[in-house]
Structure 1
Amino acid sequence: MFLRPGFLPVLACAAALTIASPQSEAQEPLLQCVPYARQVSGIQIYGDAHSWWQQADGRYAKGQRPAPGAVMAFKPHRAMQLGHVAAVSKVIDSRRVLLDHANWSPINGRKGQIERDVLAEDVSAANDWSEVRVWYTPIGGLGTTRYPVHGFIYPQGRAPRQLQTPPVQIASNVEATRELSRDERKAQRKAERLAEKEARKKLKQIEKQRRDYARYLKQQDKARRETVRMSPPPLPAPQADPIGDLIGRIGG
C-alpha cells in the first residue's frame, strides 16, 4: 500500500474483522498485542511488549531488517508506556511493510481489535527502521506520530537470509537528496495505483462483512421481538381476599 506525499487516503483500514455474536462480544476480553504477536509469529516471549527486545537476547536473532514473520518491537512512547509488538506479514519495499497486530486502532468504537495487513512506513533518516508511522483506522491513513522502534525479532531458525526478503537499502546523505529519475517516478506511480486498487478491493470486502453483520444483528433483533410478541401474557396476580383466607383457616 503506497501513499503519495501529502495524500490522506479516504480508504478505511484494509483489515479483516473478527465478527462475534452480540451475546459473546460483551463478554470477551480485549485482545492485547503481546498474545496475538506470540500466536502469529511463534516467538515464545512473555511479559509486556517493551521487554521483548531485551528478552530476545540469546534466544532469537534480532536486527534492523524487516522480514515476513518477524516481530517489530516498539519502544515505549508517550501514552504507549508498555510498548507494542506487531508481526510483519509482508515486506513491500525498503520503506514499507504490512503488519498484523492487535489493540492498536479502535474499530467500531472498541479497542483490542485485530488488524491484518496494515501499512507501516519507515520514516527514519538512515532507513534503519528506528522510527515508523503506522496505519490508524479512525483517520483512514498513516498517523502523524513517529513511533520509536528497537528493531525486529526473528522466529527461531529463520534468520533474515533464510527469509529471502529484499535487502534494505541504507540511504546515504547524497542518495537521500537525489531526485528520482523519470523511470523511477513512473514505476512509483504505477506501484501506487496498484496499491490503491488493492486497498479499495479490501475495503469492499470489509464493507460487505459489515453489512452482513448488520443484517445478522437486525435478524436477531427481529427474532427477539417476535419471541416476545408470541409469548403468552403472564397470568394476573390473584386478588387479595382476607375474609376468604380467614374462613379457610378456621373453617366454615
Structure 2
Amino acid sequence: MNRFSRALLSAVLTIGAASAAQASLLDYVGQCVPFARAASGIEIYGDAWTWWRQADGRYERTHRPKTGSVIVFAKTARLPMGHVAVISRVVEKRVVMLTHANWSRQNGERGHAEQDVTLFDVSPANDWSRVKVWYKDVDGLGGGIYPVYGFIHGDVRPAAELTSRNPDYVGALIDAYVPGS
C-alpha cells in the first residue's frame, strides 16, 4: 500500500469513527428490520413478517406489549414485507407508544425513525391482533387497520433512545380515543 493510499484510508477511518460517535438511533434512515434489531437487541434477520415464526423457541412470544418488545405486523397487500416496531412505552391496556423506522414520510421521504408513536389496539377481543398506527402524514391515526402476530420479548436491555424523556401520554390517549382530534 503506497503512502497516499494509507493516508486516504486513515482519513476515511477517522471520519467514519467521528460520524459513528455522533450518530443517534433516531438519525437512522432505512428499513424497519435493521432499526428494530438495533433498538431492541433481538437478533432476527429477514423480512419483518417472518420474525414471528423465527422467534419461536428463541424468544418469548406473547400478545401483551412490554417496553422493549418488538411488535410484528403481518404481511398484507399494503405491507408486503410486514413491519416491525419496538414498544417504547405502555400507556394503558389498549394504547402503547412505539419507536420505529420507515412508516411515515418525513421531508417527503420514507425510512426515517420516529419516536414514541401512538399504537392503538382495535381488536374486538382486546388481544392486539389488529391495530391502528399514528401516521405523521395525517398527524393522527391512519385509516388502515393492520393485522399483528404479537410481541417478541428480548432478553437484553433495549436502546436508551427508545423513548423520549417526556413522552406525550395524554396525546397518545387523545390520538387513540378521540377520532379526528
Q: State if a TM-score over 0.5 links the two structures.
A: yes
How many pairs align? 140
SS, match of residue 92 in structure 1: strand
Task: Please say if residues 72 and 85 of structure 2, whose CA atoms lie closer than 8 Å, have aligned partners that are also in contact.
Answer: yes
Q: Could you list the runs of 4 or more consecutive aligned residues of structure 1 that deviate by over 6 angstroms after TM superposition? A: none
* CA deviations over 1:21-51 (Å, ceiling 9, x no partner): xxxxxxx9x5100000000100000011011
The CA deviation at 1:144 is 1.2
* CA deviations over 1:82-118 (Å, ceiling 9, x no partner): 0000000000001000000000001110111100000
Residue in structure 1 matched with residue 68 of structure 2 by the alignment? 69
The CA deviation at 1:140 is 0.3
> Distance in 2 between the 1:139 and 1:75 partners?
23
Greater share of residues in strand: 2
Indicate whether 1:104 and 2:103 are aligned. Answer: yes
Please show how residues 37-56 of structure 1 align to structure 2 within 5 Å.
37-56=36-55
Choose 1 or 2 for highest CA Rg. Answer: 1
TM-score (norm 1): 0.52
Residue in structure 2 matched with residue 133 of structure 1 by the alignment? 132
Indicate whether 1:120 and 2:95 are aligned. Answer: no
CA distance 1:157–1:125, change in 2 (3 Å):
same
> Distance in 2 between the 1:120 and 1:72 partners?
10
* CA deviations over 1:119-139 (Å, ceiling 9, x no partner): 000000010000000010010
TM-score (norm 2): 0.72
SS, match of residue 85 in structure 1: strand
RMSD across aligned positions (CA): 2.5
Question: Mind listing any 5+ residue stretches in structure 1 that lack a counterpart?
Answer: 1-15, 19-27, 159-192, 200-252
What percentage of aligned pairs have identical amino acids?
Answer: 50
Task: Please say if residues 41 and 156 of structure 2, whose CA atoms lie closer than 8 Å, have aligned partners that are also in contact.
Answer: no
CA distance 1:194–1:86, change in 2 (3 Å):
closer
Residue in structure 1 matched with residue 170 of structure 2 by the alignment? 195
SS, match of residue 42 in structure 2: coil
* CA deviations over 1:121-178 (Å, ceiling 9, x no partner): 00000100000000100100001111000000000279xxxxxxxxxxxxxxxxxxxx
Which amino acid in 1 is paired with 2:40?
S
Residue in structure 1 matched with residue 144 of structure 2 by the alignment? 145
The CA deviation at 1:79 is 2.4
Task: Please say if residues 72 and 151 of structure 2, whose CA atoms lie closer than 8 Å, have aligned partners that are also in contact.
Answer: yes
* CA deviations over 1:203-243 (Å, ceiling 9, x no partner): xxxxxxxxxxxxxxxxxxxxxxxxxxxxxxxxxxxxxxxxx
Greater share of residues in helix: 1
Residue in structure 2 matched with residue 32 of structure 1 by the alignment? 31
Which amino acid in 2 is paired with 1:78?
A
